[in-house]
Amino acid sequence: MFVKERFKLVESTLEEIRSMTPDFGYNGFGEFLYFRTYSRNICKNCRQPSIKLDLKTGREYCGSCQKGQILVHDFVDPLETCQEWWPDTIIRATQGTFSIRKDWYIKNHIPWDESFWQVYARHFAVSMYKMEWLPPGRGLWAMGSDFVYERGSAALQNCGFTIIGETLENDIHWMMDMLMCGVGVGFLPERQDELTVYNPKGTYDYVIPDSREGWCDSTKALITSFREKGSPKPRFIYDEIREEGAPIRGFGGVCSGPAPLIKFHQRIEMLMEQYACEEWYDSVLLKTDLANCTGCCVVAGNVRRSAELCAGTIDEVMDLKQYDKYPYRKDWGYMSNNSVFLETSEDFERLGEIAKRVILNGEPGYINKVNLPFGRIGKSMDGLRLDRAIAFNPCGEQPLEDKELCTLVETVPMRCHSDEAWLKAVEYATVYATTVTLLPTHRPETNSVMYRNRRIGASIINVAEWSDKIGTHKLIKNLRQGYEKTRNVSHWCNSEAGIPDPIRHTTIKPGGTTPNLPGQNAGFNRPNFEFMIRRVRLSRNSPVYQILVDAGVPNEPEIFDPKGTVVFEFPVHKTGFKRVSLWEQASMLCLLQREWSDNAVSNTLNFRPKWNLKYHLWPTVQAFLQADSVLDQYMSLAERIEVFNKKLPSINSFREFKATFEFSENVEVKIYEYDENHEEEDIEPVLSSIAPLTKSVAMLPITPKGVYAQMPEEGITEDEYKHRLLSIKPIDWSKLRGSDGIDERYCEGPQCVVRHG
C-alpha cells in the first residue's frame, strides 16, 4: 500500500461542488471526451472507483465500503454501480491529491493542519471544476483511485526516458514496464562496441504469468539467455495468458491473447542472431530495434498505445527511417520518432542536411544538448541547479535523466476571468504537481532520480489565442509573473514536505484530450482549420457507442476495421485560427523558452511544403490502367502503362503536379500539387537561427484537408458546420453505464503521434 492515509472533503464542500454546473467546450465534444475517457464506473453507495473482483467467487465488490462483499456465509450486501460525473471526478482527484500529501506528512511525522487543508482543498477543487487549471489526462483518470494508492505514481506520470546501455535486458524491461503503464518513453541506444551475445545452451520451461510483470519478466529472461555465456534459453509456455477479448483489469481495455508477445519473442531471437552473425549490424541498431519492437508488442497487445522517441548522434539516427537502406526495419521502424543531438560545432554545421531530411519525411528533429543543463534560455540561473538531463520524453517538453519520469499539469488562462485568477490557477497546478512527486513509483531506479530532482512541469493551454487577446507585451509580463509564482509555490510546498525544491518547474506540453474539455487549443500551436470535423474512433462494444448513435452523431465504419470500429464525426469550431508563417511560429517558440519554460517547449513547427498532397488513391491495377477521372487530369494512359510496366516505385513530374506509385495488390497513387508560396527554403534558415535559443525542435508539413480517408481533423465550411451541429440531438449521458474510461496516454500531441515514414 503506497498511500495509507485518506483525505476526505467536508460535506459542505461536497455539496458546493455537486451543485455546480460544468461548462464543457466545443458544443458537446468536450463533454463526450470526458465521458468516454475519464468517467469511471463507481460504487453508488460511496461514489468511489473501487470496484474489485473476488477471484474465488467471481463477484464484484467495492473495496472502499465493502458493498457486494460476502460478509457471513453466502450473504451479500448488494453492490450497485453508477457512472462518475464531472463533480465526482473533481472530488476524486482532489481527495486523491491531498491524500498523498497527508500520507506523506503523517509518515514523516510532519504536522498536518486538517482545517487549513480543508479550506485550501475547497478553492483548489472549485478552480479545477471551472477548468481554470487541470491535471493531465492521466491524473483525471487515475488520481484518487485504488490503483494509485496500491501501486504508486506511474499511472499519474506522462512520459519518461531511459538509456539502453550495458544492462540491455534491464533497460528493455524498464521500458516495456513503463509503456504498459501508459508512460511514453524516450530512449538513447548507447553505442557499445564490446556488447557480446552468445548462443544459448539448452532450454528450460518458463510459464508466463498473466500479468504486466509476467510479460516484462519473460522478455528480460529471453534477452538474458543471449547475454550470459552458457545460459539456457527459456521455452515459453503461454497457456496462462488470458484469451483474446478478455477484459484487462486496472487499466481497462481488452486482451489480445498471447500472439503479440509470441511475435515479440520471435523478433528478439531474430535480432540477437542477426547481431551475432552480421558485422554491419551494430549495437545501436540492435538496441533501437529492440526498443521499437517493444512498443509494437505493447500496442498490439491492446495493453497500451505507445509513444517512443529515439535520440542519438546525427550519423546514428538520421537514416533510421530510410527503408531503402534498412529494409528489415519497415515492420517496426515507425514506432519511434527520431531526434538528433546537436553538441559540437560540426553538428550545427549539418543543419542544412537535417533540413533536407525534414522536407522528405518530417524527420529528424533536433535536441540541442548545449542548452540542456540550463533553465530558461537567456535568463538567470539564480536558485536553479544545472540539469543532468540526457535527452527528452517523446513529446519533447521535458529534458530527463536516465529512468526519470515527468510530472505534468496544465493551466488554462483563457478560462480565467483575470490575471489574478490565472496566477491562482498556477498556484493550484503547482500544488498538484509537487504533491504527485511525493508518491513513489513501483521502480526503485526511477524513485532515486525523481526524489533527487523533484522535477515538475506546469504548462499553459492555448498560448497563441491568449497572446492574440492580450498582446505580446502583456503575454511576456504574465509569463514572467507566472514563472515566479510557480517557483515560490513549489518552494513553499516542498519546504512544507521537507524535500528539496524542484530542479525545474515549467513547460509547454502538447496537450491531448484535456484541452478539448474546456474547448481550447492545445499547447502553443494554432489549429489547422477554423471549422472542422473532429473524428473519433470507438469500438462497437464501447458503452458510449449506442448513446452517440441515438443522438444522431454521424458515423461510418472504420476503413481498416469495419466490423469492430466505428468513426464518429463531431463538428467543432476552433477559435484563434490564423495562418502564421514558419518564422512567426519559431519566434513564439523562442519567446516561451525564454520567458516561461525552464524545462522545454513541446513544439511541431508546421511549414508549407513545395508539393501538397492533393489525392491519395488506391485503384486496382485494372482501374489504374483504364480511364480514371482523377488520373486522366494529370497523366495519359501511355504514361500510366509505362509506370506500371516498371513495377517499381517511381515519380512522374508533369505540368504543376507530380505523382508517386507503389505496386502491391492495388496501386497506391499519390498526386501532389505545387505551392508557389511554399516554405521549404525557409527551413534551414529557421533551424539555424533558433538552434542556439531552443532545446528541441520538430517540424512537419501542413497536411491539406480531405487528403486521407477518415483524418482525425478535416476542415469544413461554416455553413456545413452549422448544418452538422443542428442535425445532432442533445446527448443523454444519463444512459451511460459500466464504462471505466480509457487510460489517457502520455501527452498525445503531434510529436507523440507516431509519423509513419
Q: Whole-angstrom Cα distance, residue 246 to residue 552?
A: 30
- Cα within 13 Å of Cα(541), Cβ side: 8
Which helix (DSSP H) or strand (DSSP E) does residue 91 occupy? helix 86-107
**Measured CA distances, 516 to 32, 213, 534 (Å):** 10, 34, 11
Q: Whole-angstrom Cα distance, residue 261 to residue 83?
A: 34
Which helix (DSSP H) or strand (DSSP E) does residue 568 occupy? strand 561-573
Contact 402/171 with Cβ under 8 angstroms? no
Strand 657-663 versus strand 650-654 pairing type: antiparallel
Determine the 3-state secondary structure of 312 from DSSP: strand
Which helix (DSSP H) or strand (DSSP E) does residue 423 occupy? helix 419-436
Instruction: Tell whether omega for the bond before 515 is within 30 degrees of 0, i.e. cis.
Output: no
Q: Please tell me what DSSP assigns to residue 703.
A: P
What cell numbers appear for 582 in the block?
514558419
Instruction: Tell whether omega for the bond before 413 is within 30 degrees of 0, i.e. cis.
Output: no
Distance, CA of 705 to chain centre? 24
Residue 341: Cβ-neighbour burial (10 angstroms; 0-12, 13-18, 19+) = buried
Identity of the amino acid at 598: D
Give φ, ψ of 476 to 5 degrees. Answer: -60, -45
Give φ, ψ of 569 to 5 degrees. Answer: -120, 120
- 396, 362, 392: which is closest to 699 by C-alpha? 362
Q: What's the per-residue H, E or C state across 180-242? A: HCCCEEEEEECCCCCCCCCCCCCEEEEECCCCHHHHHHHHHHHHHHHHCCCCCEEEEECCCCC
Q: Whole-angstrom Cα distance, residue 186 to residue 392?
A: 6
Q: Please tell me what DSSP assigns to residue 78.
A: -
Q: Whole-angstrom Cα distance, residue 8 to residue 122?
A: 11
Q: Which residues are catalytic?
A: 395, 397
Greatest alpha-carbon span in the chain? 84
Residues in Cβ contact with 680 at an 8 Å cutoff, skipping those fewer than 6 apart: 359, 607, 608, 609, 610
Q: Which spans in 605-703 are helix H?
A: 621-625, 637-646, 683-690
Q: Whole-angstrom Cα distance, residue 524 to residue 461?
A: 7
Which helix (DSSP H) or strand (DSSP E) does residue 406 occupy? strand 405-411
The CA-based angle 296-301-307, given to 5 degrees, is 40
Identity of the amino acid at 38: Y
What cell numbers appear for 64 in the block?
472502499
Strand 555-558 versus strand 561-573 pairing type: antiparallel
Q: Which spans in 668-717 are helix H?
A: 683-690
Residue written as cell 519554460? 597
